[in-house]
Amino acid sequence: MKAVFLDIDGVLNNAYSKTRAPSGAIGIDGDKVKRLRKIVEETGAKLVLTSSWKTDTGEDRDYMVRKLKRERLHVLMHTVDERWNRWEGIRRWIERYGRDLEAYVILDDEFFEDYYSDPGKEILRPEVKDHLVKTEFFDEDGGLRDAHVEMALRILKGQEV
């Protein structure tokens, strides 16, 4: 099995996105979902939600599910973690469900505290560094770009990045 650990904000949208979720929050851009579909289709990877959207239970969650479903995507599961300990949630998920995990990629626009292996936050953990595709939220063309898709594909296919 291959897994995509998926953040939403900054990956499937950006600060300039015009789309809106039912709550009025920034929505999900269709072009970025199509790029995500390419990753999933070419690798057979499963989506594991790491985003703060995972705790939404109302209209915004339904909206997210619909946006993904339009591109024949669905979230397999989500991680469980504290807000600023994203790696901890990913690590727990891998320990619990990743027995057959061949490869994984982390799509995220943020560096969380526990992504680092040192107190000075200068060295990313190898388990993060070798798997992270870092996107940008505040760029006009931010979120998942074609170059990110290519990097994610190389990681999931075990090719050099």
CATH architecture of the domain formed by 2-156: 3-Layer(aba) Sandwich (3.40)
Sheet strand arrangement including 132-134? 75-78, 46-49, 2-6, 103-108, 132-134
From first to last of its 161 residues, the chain has per-residue pLDDT tens of 999 999 999 999 999 999 999 999 999 999 999 999 999 999 999 999 999 999 888 899 999 999 999 999 999 999 998 777 899 999 999 999 999 999 999 999 999 999 999 888 899 999 999 999 999 999 999 999 999 999 999 999 999 87
**Residue 55 DSSP symbol:** G
Q: Looking at residue 55, what is its pLDDT?
A: 85
How far apart CA 141 and CA 14 sit, in angstroms, is: 8
pLDDT score recorded for residue 81 = 87
